[in-house]
Amino acid sequence: MTISNASLDHLLPTGEDVEFYRAHGYWTSGPIVPADVLDAAEAGMARLYAGDTDRPPPGGRSLGGWRPEDGEVLRKNDHASLVVDELAALVRYPVIAACAARLSGAGEIRLWHDQLLYKPPESALPEAGGVNVGWHTDRQYWRSCVSTEMLTAWVPFHDVGEAAGGIAFVDASHLWQDDVALDFFDSDLSALDRLRGSRRVEVVVPEIPRGAVSFHHCRTVHGSGPNLSGRPRRSLAVHLQPGDNRPSLRARHGLDDLVRRDPEGRPDYADPAVCPRLWPASPDHLPSLPGTAVHGDDA
């Protein structure tokens, strides 16, 4: 038995929302993730940073990522949900994947991978702008996948907008006919200026309240600026794949070293230990439907 769309319908994007996503390449939900799920995820984030995990990574491999000795930099820890239960609970929260399925039109949504993100405030940095996230598309890093309809759910743990260095999108850039050479790690956000002569470039920075989730298409150009809020910006990026995604022979991805092999010896992007099915969800992941408890403070 699985959970149906009908039981969650009031939380999912409407037909107009789906049209907006397909026209603009991004969409922000209303409050869909309860405060207790986010509170637990924040506790899990703190545990991970302290070296306290629930299990080793698949195959005992090192996941790398931020460590305390790295200091005040942009923290990025990939596959955090594979080793910390509270983060896995957030990734598996069914409403997130149900929204992704409706936006993308996919009948099934699986986890691709997740990234735990922590952006220090500018006041804590030795050099201004050092933790900007450069303009990029997710697709440029996912050439190992045949699907071009993958998407990301960006889940902030508190209210986030432009002042906190929130995620910024180039409107409708997922419709550009050619790929652009951009770089996640290039903190110089003026790199976008060279595209303005040949393309319509309109940058949008949504205000995302706690409990809401921002979704974007894998070809949407996005990045983020400095965190001027005085507090660390904390979030989890949940990268999602449609159920029919398969590996391409043209490129490799770091995930290839974590997943099992299929009968032909290729990486299995449906490996349930690494890329579990998130939608349709199983009954044991049926949420307590969000109500007033979703609205937390801005942490």
Residue at 188 is within a domain: yes
Q: What is the DSSP string of 115-181?
A: EEEEE--GGG-SSTTTTPEEEE-SGGG-TTBS-S--EEEEEESS-B-GGGT-EEEETTGGG-SS---
Cβ(168)–Cβ(223) below 8 Å: yes
144-166 residue pLDDT tens: 999 999 999 999 999 999 999 99
Residue 27 lies in a domain: yes
249 pLDDT band, cuts 50/70/90, is: confident
Does 104 reside within a domain? yes
- Helices H / strands E in the chain, number of each: 4, 11
Distance in angstroms (rounded) separating the CA atoms of residues 101 and 94:
11
Q: Is the pLDDT of residue 291 over 90?
A: no
Query: Could you tell me if residue 83 is inside a domain?
Result: yes
Torsion angle (degrees, nearest 10) of CA 243, 247, 253, 254: 70
Q: How confident is the model at residue 9 (pLDDT cuts 50, 70, 90)?
A: confident
296 part of a folded domain: no
Is position 103 within any domain?
Answer: yes
Residue 96 has pLDDT above 70, yes or no: yes
Whole-model pTM? 0.90
Q: Looking at the domain assignment, is residue 295 inside a domain? A: no
How far, in Å, CA of 139 to CA of 179, rounded?
Answer: 9
In a domain, 297, yes or no: no
**Domain of 254: which CATH number?**
2.60.120.620
Q: What is the pLDDT of residues 225-245, one digit of tens each?
A: 999 999 999 999 999 999 999
- Count of the separate structural domains present in the chain: 1
Instruction: Give the pLDDT band of residue 138 (cuts 50, 70, 90).
Output: very high
The predicted structure's pLDDT at residue 130: 79
Q: Which domain holds residue 243?
A: 5-281
Q: What is the mean pLDDT of the chain?
A: 89
